[in-house]
Amino acid sequence: MATPSNAGRAQKARPVSQRSRLRNLWENVKSIVGALAIFLILRAFLIEAYRIPSGSMIPTLLVGDWLFVNKAIFGAHVPFTHTNLPAYREPRRSDVVVFVSPFQADEDSLGHDPTPTLVKRLVGVPGDTLYMRTGVLYVNGIAQRQGYGAETRANPELANSVDPLFDWQKKVGLRASRFGPAPPQPTHDNWGPLVVPPGKLFMMGDSRYNSKDSRYWGFVPRENVRGKPLFVYYSYNADDSDRPLPMLTDIRWSRIGHWIR
């Protein structure tokens, strides 16, 4: 007599054990935590994204540019500490630099962040003698190109303006030097000479008449440096677009991939 076939019998599925489910969940959690840890390490010590919110670095950087910043080159800052890792090289004059601003009491009084992260051009390193005459910056007696092309004409409203925030310069301005004495009252376009002290840096925006920089809040401690911008990875017309949703509809395609110098 033929033996009945088992082919048509329903196969009863074996239930997945509770232990197997927990093991699979743990493996997924480890993968997610591992990926998050790698991201945080890269962000803290190697590369970080940064958005340009103001026009102080026009034309080098535009409002709406998004940058990748190399945090390792000048020595990555260890989060929640006052320690920086060893640098590949020191910041050089003319570098574009991302840094934490010295304390700005005027911003604090307005309820704003008194130590924002900024991006400016490094114009003075320790030992440099800096001064401006009629809007032209001099470094060790050599005239520098005005604002890297951003501003070629003085702004009459600002050129001789006096701001209480300039008063810090009175304490460090040289009373006598081969470049002449510092003016009794620093103005926007006429100040110095002053010498950058050890461990400090002097920053200015390329758009000299649209930049609140070291002229206002003084020298930047070397340990405040956070990195060097590499290139623009995304950009849109954020300041004067007449299109809806400019982040999507007014993209500056020609800026994407632009290396920052």
pTM surpassing 0.85? no
Average pLDDT over residues 95-124: 95
CA distances from 222 to 86, 98, 175, 182, 196 (A): 13, 11, 26, 25, 12
List the domain range (segments joined by +) for residue 64.
50-232
Tokens of 79: 């989060």
Q: Which of 226, 214, 248, 240 is nearest to 102 (CA)?
A: 214
Domain count, the chain: 1
Q: Looking at residue 75, which CATH number applies to its domain?
A: 2.10.109.10
User: Tell me: the pLDDT tens digits for 223-236?
Assistant: 999 999 999 999 99
Domain annotation covers residue 240? no
**Is the pLDDT at 150 greater than 60, yes or no?**
no
Domain annotation covers residue 243? no
Q: Are the CB atoms for 96 and 57 separated by under 8 Å? A: yes
Where residue 151 falls among pLDDT bands split at 50, 70, 90?
low
Dihedral angle, C-alpha 53, 55, 57, 59, nearest 10 °: 120
Which residues are known to be catalytic? 56, 120
Domain annotation covers residue 135? yes
Tokens of 119: 């991006």
Domain annotation covers residue 35? no
Where residue 77 falls among pLDDT bands split at 50, 70, 90?
confident
Tokens of 72: 């390792």
